[in-house]
Amino acid sequence: MVFDVVVIGAGAAGLMCAAQAGYAGRRVLVLDHANKAGKKILMSGGGRCNFTNLDTAPGHFYSENPYFCISALKRYRPEHFVSLVETHGVEYVEKAPGQLFCADSAKEIVRVLMTECEWAGAEVALKTSISRVERQGEGMRLTTSMGTIDAGVVVVATGGLSIPTMGATGFGYDIARQFGLEVLPTRPGLVPFTLSDSWKERVAALSGVSLPSAVSCKETRFVEPMLFTHRGLSGPSMLQISSVWESGSAITIDLMPGESVAEALRHARQETPKRLLSTWLGERFPKRFAQALQEWYPNAELAIPLAQYSNEALDVWAQRLNQWQLKPAGTEGWRTAEVTMGGVSTHAISSKTFEVKDLPQLRFIGEVLDVTGQLGGYNFQWAWASGVACGQAC
Ligand code: FDA
């Protein structure tokens, strides 16, 4: 079998690339070992796929080379993808500012991509394993469970390592290493935190409680809701900060973002000196959390009127609520991570065509590269943009 372009990976980036290459007149084959195309798309955004973010800009991506993503993101913008889904009659909603989700189901996005591949004449072969990728004359040769396939260009779109049960493998990294490319260390990103035993027990009792929060680690801060789980901490702010967190470091949680607890308590002491601190906490936090605070910290302290609190004692509470320092034990790892930090270094890759600079027959797109977006639809926008740029250049 001979194809102009063989794409490895029928995920977001791979299908997008295949359709574009097909429209450009190339004979295209997409190979995937999974039994379904776009499995991660199907499970994304709680089954409704946050398929783009209207605020997409390079600042929302992590990479050793922060400039690498600029060209592709500039050329294929969120409006382009929105226009594509509209062409296919997909209804969508803006659930949070800039974050677009399918109104109905993520299946719609897979339908769009598969239809595009069909219209462009790109073939998709599922349940196909690939055991070897090598150079063959001017092109590439793949040894697969379908037999030997010769290709002018091989595009690696195998994604990251998260959720191995959905078909994630490190095959793309193996191919990169085989051809002498650097693969930067990988770690789970956008992943819930686990806590050490004492905190885990306390927090588990709050499982399901969500609070506004501002979470910071090193120089980075995210103001979004957080969620207590039976294993630790999750919710948008925690997932976001997990991408910059390194094992052993602490995170700082502000449970009343935008409000100085020290000032608010001083004001309350002056206005309502007889009020108990426990009453004050109960007015500001969900009942279960306010009760938990009373269990975490000595009861006697809370059951006295605010008038009896010294400034120092109020400051202790301000510290607990505005600057709660916590050292996560770890993260839930690849099992639940949404993305992979690190991956194939972009240094040897063209940011315009995604070809390996000294081996243009080989290309890498999507999450397998060392480009990772923040939470909110940025990762799919990267998949679309890199897929389009590469597909058009194949
Ligand atoms: P993707 O993972 O989509 O595709 C890779 C393909 O390669 C898969 O089909 C896989 O089977 C195949 N493959 C792997 N190894 C292979 C091998 N050895 N041989 C053959 N095929 C192989 N992002 C976002 O922007 N908005 C969102 O709402 C979400 N939500 C979300 C939820 C969850 C639970 C997860 C895990 C992830 C998200 N993401 C997300 C992230 C997003 O899913 C991800 O960044 C993109 O799918 C990456 O697209 P790729 O095409 O690069 O990889």
**For 253-266, b where at least 16 C-beta lie within 10 A, e where not — what string?**
bbbbbeeebbebbb
Q: What's the pLDDT score for residue 300?
A: 63
Specify whether the CB–CB gap between 224 and 236 falls below 8 A: yes
21-30, 59-68, 308-317: least confident range: 308-317
pLDDT confidence of 307, banded at 50, 70, 90? very high
How far does residue 184's CA lie from ligand 1's centre (Å)? 19
Residue 294: pLDDT above 90? no
| Distance between CA atoms of residues 142 and 217, nearest Å | 44
Ligand 1 contact via 45 beta carbon (within 6 Å):
yes
CA-to-CA distance for 383 and 109, rounded, in angstroms?
13
Distance CA 328, CA 242 (A): 10
What's the confidence (pLDDT) of residue 227? 98
**What average pLDDT does the segment 307-316 reach?**
94
Q: How far is the CA of 265 from the centre of ligand 1 (A)?
A: 47
Q: Say what percent of the chain tops pLDDT 70.
A: 99
> What ipTM was reported for this prediction?
0.99
Question: Which residue's CA is the closest to the ligand 1 atom numbered 2?
Answer: 159
pTM of the model: 0.96
From the CA of 160, how far away is ligand 1's center (Å)? 7
Query: Residue 109: CB within 6 Å of ligand 1?
Result: no
| Least-confidence region, from 114-128, 192-206, 290-304 | 290-304
Q: Which residue has the higher pLDDT, 301 or 367?
A: 367
Mean pLDDT of all residues in the chain? Answer: 96
The answer, yes or no, to whether residue 167 has pLDDT greater than 90, is: no
Chain-centroid distance of CA 146 in Å reads 33
Query: Could you tell me the distance, in angstroms and rounded to a whole number, from the CA of residue 300 to the centre of ligand 1?
Result: 51
Could you tell me if 19 and 122 are in contact, meaning their C-beta atoms sit under 8 angstroms apart? yes
Residue 152 has a pLDDT of 98
Nearest ligand 1 atom to alpha carbon 12: 51
Predicted confidence band of residue 388 (pLDDT cuts 50, 70, 90): very high
Q: How far apart are CA 221 and CA 240, in angstroms?
A: 9
At residue 26, the pLDDT reads: 98
Q: What is the CA radius of gyration of the chain?
A: 25
Is the confidence at residue 346, as pLDDT, over 90? yes
- Asked if residue 162 lies in contact with residue 13, where contact means CB atoms within 8 angstroms, the answer is no
pLDDT at 219 over 80: yes
Is pLDDT at 304 greater than 90 in this prediction?
no
Q: How confident is the model at residue 302 (pLDDT cuts 50, 70, 90)?
A: confident
Question: Residue 365 CA: which ligand 1 atom is closest?
Answer: 52
Q: How far is the CA of 246 from the centre of ligand 1 (A)?
A: 23
Query: 158 CB under 6 A from ligand 1?
Result: yes
Tell me which of 82-96, 107-121, 190-204, 346-360 is least confident: 190-204
Tell how far CA 375 is from the center of its chain: 5
32 CB near ligand 1 (under 6 Å): yes
**Site to substitute for ligand 1 among 31, 39, 40, most atoms within 8 A of C-beta:** 40
Alpha carbon nearest to ligand 1 atom 50, residue: 159
Average pLDDT score over residue span 23-42: 98
Question: Is it the case that residue 299 has pLDDT exceeding 90?
Answer: no
Per the listing, tokens 């990169």 go with 176
Find the 2 Cα to ligand 1 centroid distance in Å: 27
Mutation test of ligand 1: which of 33, 379, 381, 384 has the most ligand atoms closer than 8 Å to its C-beta?
379
pLDDT tens digits, one per residue of 252-268? 999 999 999 999 999 99
Pair of tokens at residue 199: 């905190």
**Atom 31 (ligand 1): residue with closest C-alpha?**
44
- Whether ligand 1 lies within 6 angstroms of the CB of 50 is answered as yes
